[in-house]
Amino acid sequence: MISTLLNYLANSSAITYIVLALLSAYTVAVFWIFLYRNSAINRLLSNEKRSLEMLTSGQGRFSPLSLLNQCSNGSTSKEILHACEISIIKDASVGLSWLAIISSTSPFIGLFGTVVGILESFAVFANESKVSFSVIAPAISEALVATAAGIFVAIFAYTFHQILSRKIYELNIFLKAQSEILVAKG
């Protein structure tokens, strides 16, 4: 496996290196964004869930760790609470657009690498009088590595985007529920 990879890299062009380097940077970015944002959103979810439980259990007060409490400064004004909800959700969703961009562009970057690899293979084959399938197949399969790498990155970026979007949706529900309770209590 390693010898195949080293052989692939030894026979690759500059475009292939650029495509694989960009997709590697995308992979690092995807995992970094997910790990960083997932832990931050989980913390927010935990705090807001605890605060909602305190409000619904009859204690009638926010958790001191609630961002809604910190933002509204104890106000029960519907407008202020709504503005705080928007601000918290905006801050929680930082990085999601990058995951969406990466999930949609990485397959195209991989496809670009594949097309260039195939064109380079055909340019080499043009100088030979007879080319058999046994010569063409390895060259084309090597070119397809870039597409596979692009799809690999896109799968993780899209999956992580969906996971974080769902958690932000849950956070929004907790914030809205708290706001409704506070406005109802006056």
Token duo for residue 38: 């997932």
What's the confidence (pLDDT) of residue 56? 84
Q: How far apart are CA 100 and CA 26, in angstroms?
A: 12
What's the confidence (pLDDT) of residue 4? 66
Q: How far apart are CA 37 and CA 39, in angstroms?
A: 6
Per DSSP, 95 falls in state T
Q: How far apart are CA 164 and CA 31, in angstroms?
A: 12
Only one residue has tokens 């959103």, namely 41
Mean pLDDT per block of 10 residues along the chain (186 residues) reads 69 80 95 96 93 80 79 83 92 94 96 88 79 76 87 97 97 92 81
Give Cα separations from 70 to 47, 63, 65, 92 (angstroms).
12, 10, 8, 15
What's the confidence (pLDDT) of residue 76? 78
Q: Where are the domains of the chain?
A: 2-185
What's the confidence (pLDDT) of residue 118? 86
